[in-house]
Amino acid sequence: MPPGHGAFREDIQEEQKLGKVYDGNLVRRLMVFAKPYTKWIILAIAIVLVLSVLQIAQPYITKIAIDRFIIFSNAKLELSNDSLSIVPEVRSKYADKLLALEEEGVFLLDSKKLDPRHAAELEANGLIGREKFYIVDLTKLKDKEAVERILRENSDKFERSLNQNTYIIGYSKLREIPRSDIMKLRAGDRRGVLIIGIIFILVLVVSFVIQYAQIYLMTLVGQNILFDIRNALYKHLQRLSLKFYDGNPVGRLVTRSTNDVNVLNEMFTSVLITLLSDLFKFVGISVLLLAMNWRLGLLLMAITPLIMVVTLLFRVKFREAYRKVRVRIARINATLSEHFSGIRVIKVFAREAENIRRFEAVNHEYYKANIYEITVHGLFSPVIVFLRNLGLALILWYGGGQVVQNLLPLGALVAYLQYLDMFFQPINALAEKFNVMQSAMASSERIFQIMDTKPDIVEIENPIDLKKIEGRVEFEDVWFAYKRLPDDSDWDWVLKGVSFTVEPGQSVAIVGETGAGKTTIISLMSRFYDIQSGSIKIDGFDLRDWRIETLRKHIAVVLQDVFLFARDIKSNIRLNNEGITMDRLVELTNIVNANKFIERLPAKFDEPVAERGSTLSSGQRQLLSFARALAFDPSILVLDEATSNIDTETEQLIQGALQNLIKNRTSIIIAHRLSTIQHVDKILVMHKGKLVEEGNHQQLLARGGIYYKLYQLQYKGQEIG
């Protein structure tokens, strides 16, 4: 299996996880982070409800404007034949609303005020006229003289009611009157339309302000929640041991801390509030539709079950499409990461063409997955549009027929058409909401999976917290393994019964073949891992009794692979400890002979350092790591093959510095170059996880054991002394 292949496969499996559209447990856990902002969320919900009311009100305002001030709906009723049962009933019920005309038995009534049953029966008996009439009431006019002039000049077009101050005119004859006269006749309607228009504009302005406030508030709440989640996740990651990081690629952890957290943003800022708004609108619109005309309302709502069935069917397709895209993009990410990481190997073995072919195949699969997703989305929208248009056709057919039959005001029909768009708007966005919620559930599951990981290294209740230590190190029959054997029969031991003691101020070197357990020993000293058996003590106290932060402050480790941050030289030595002055920095770099190359840099200590220190040589990076170790004045200094990347000239510079490094402090040095450890107080020789030899340089050479063989291999042909 190629290096890193297992990690990439795990990344793909992670991306394949398909969250539920809604997972109550995950939502409850997310709401814990939302709890501090409960007041803001309640305010946002209140704003959404107000905004929904204002949005629902807009078509109704249009209805009022049309039915009350724009379209007149007064019709003549022939009520002279009392033998028909409907006539006495209408006379009785609408007595205060009937306007008696001069013609015997003929009345004028606003058809909007008629009960649909009565209107239908009057229509069936031919007792209601089709033409609509406009009423001119002289008692309600401001410019009475002008209207009286219009009445005199057009006396042949107006009919007088029994009430001497009231005149009526049919729509067909009203059109024959000059426009200027119509404006005067309908001055009251014009004022009404103006007032309605002003109210409508005010509603729009208030809606704009409230909508802005709602968006801003929910975005603010969402960002605060994400801020808290990201902080909580980062703090938890900082508490986890190296064992966790050994099994989790850096890219995956970065993705969890950034991309997965960001995915939750849209759920908090739009989807949850939008769903609430949509539900409120649906209920509000349904009530209004039924109130205006329950028959037409029920007819329109009859489409809803069909929409629900279609939505549920497409929901399955959305999940399948979403899963395919996530799987394919995971494979692309894994392929790119692997190829970019191994670019040197690819070029050395001239595998560019083969890798291009493999990437094209993976890329084509991703292309097909996207086409499938687009197809599903592209099919869902037309289906919803078709159902919407079906609702439109039903409204026009049934509602239009009712308008013609005086069973429904025209304004109500217009309002129905506007409510139709509002009714279907949430459904049109349903596919997107499915994707957002589904992605949010999958991301939150991955985030909480990390946050549920318990730290392997935990402190006791009252740990030891000493400001100064002597530096005595004791290993007593230490057994340690990173993992169990494949058959789970036993541990895969790395250290087997290791025992040794390092006295305060003593310098000790640990040597051995690769895989002998040298680096593991220093990892255990800093308690990056806990041992399975035995004990490790610092100044007589077991490591598990120490405060972890205190323990690691007393131990400075210089690693073979030096990590430098993308800041400047002084920041990489201080590590954000501003208590280390510039004078101290100069002193430290002089001690480790790093001052020579720093002085040659254009900005000296302020010289920017590229990512991972790529602009510096291996030797320069190593010298900075020595200065960094000294900056914190540790009681125990550990050098983990710290001179392996240093050339001969730099090694000569550092030999003197090493003496200063280990002076007055316990020092443990792991080295392949035996020339760097000949003057230490004691050398420990590791072989296959066991401590097999112990002594100084001369003693071990005289013994002629493993150390002698190692020395002979490095200095073959030279005199061994």
Query: Is 50 exceeded by the pLDDT of residue 135?
Result: yes
Query: Is 80 exceeded by the pLDDT of residue 386?
Result: yes
Give percent above pLDDT 90 in the chain.
Answer: 13
Separation of alpha carbons 247 and 482, rounded Å: 11
Residue in 56, 434, 26 with CA at minimum distance from that of residue 278: 56
Which residue segments constitute the domains of the chain, with CATH numbers given? 473-714 (3.40.50.300)
Structure confidence at residue 390 (pLDDT) = 84
Decide the pairing of beta strands 507-512 and 666-670.
parallel
Helices and strands: H and E segment counts in the chain: 29, 16
- Going by pLDDT thresholds of 50, 70 and 90, the confidence category of residue 426 is confident
Separation of alpha carbons 181 and 194, rounded Å: 19
Report how far apart the first and last C-alpha atoms of the chain are (Å, whole number): 45
pTM above 0.75, yes or no: no
Query: Is 80 exceeded by the pLDDT of residue 308?
Result: no
Structure confidence at residue 644 (pLDDT) = 59
- Measured at the CA of 85, the angle between CA 80 and CA 91, to 5 degrees, comes to 55
Greater confidence (229 vs 573) lies with 229
Sign of the four-CA dihedral 116, 121, 123, 127: negative
Query: Is 60 exceeded by the pLDDT of residue 17?
Result: no
Structure confidence at residue 207 (pLDDT) = 92
Q: What is the pLDDT of residues 194-250, one digit of tens each?
A: 999 999 999 999 999 998 998 888 888 888 999 999 999 988 888 888 888 877 777
Greater confidence (530 vs 276) lies with 530
Q: What is the pLDDT of residues 324-335, one digit of tens each?
A: 887 787 778 777
Burial 113-123 (b: 16+ CB within 10 A, else e): ebeeebbbbbb
Q: What is the pLDDT of residues 590-626, one digit of tens each?
A: 877 778 788 888 888 878 887 666 677 777 787 888 8
Residue type, 267: M
Query: Is 60 exceeded by the pLDDT of residue 481?
Result: yes
The mean per-residue pLDDT over the stretch 402-421 comes to: 81
SS3 content of the chain, % helix, strand, coil (to 5): 60, 15, 25
Q: Which two tokens stand for residue 372?
A: 């499938």
By the 10 Å C-beta count (0-12 exposed, 13-18 middle, 19+ buried), 46 is classed as: exposed
- Going by pLDDT thresholds of 50, 70 and 90, the confidence category of residue 8 is very low
By the 10 Å C-beta count (0-12 exposed, 13-18 middle, 19+ buried), 583 is classed as: exposed
Residue type, 192: G
The mean per-residue pLDDT over the stretch 166-177 comes to: 90
Check: CB of residue 392 under 8 Å from CB of residue 418. no
Structure confidence at residue 295 (pLDDT) = 81
Query: Is 50 exceeded by the pLDDT of residue 1?
Result: no
Q: What is the DSSP string of 655-710?
A: HHHHHHHHTTSEEEEE-S-GGGSTTSSEEEEEETTEEEEEE-HHHHHHHTSHHHHH
Q: What is the DSSP string of 571-612?
A: HHHHTT-TTS-HHHHHHHHHHTT-HHHHHHSTTGGG-B--GG
Structure confidence at residue 14 (pLDDT) = 52
- Going by pLDDT thresholds of 50, 70 and 90, the confidence category of residue 479 is very high
Structure confidence at residue 719 (pLDDT) = 47
The mean per-residue pLDDT over the stretch 104-118 comes to: 86
Query: Is 60 exceeded by the pLDDT of residue 148?
Result: yes
Residue in 68, 73, 115 with CA at minimum distance from that of residue 92: 115
Query: Is 70 exceeded by the pLDDT of residue 659?
Result: no
By the 10 Å C-beta count (0-12 exposed, 13-18 middle, 19+ buried), 81 is classed as: exposed
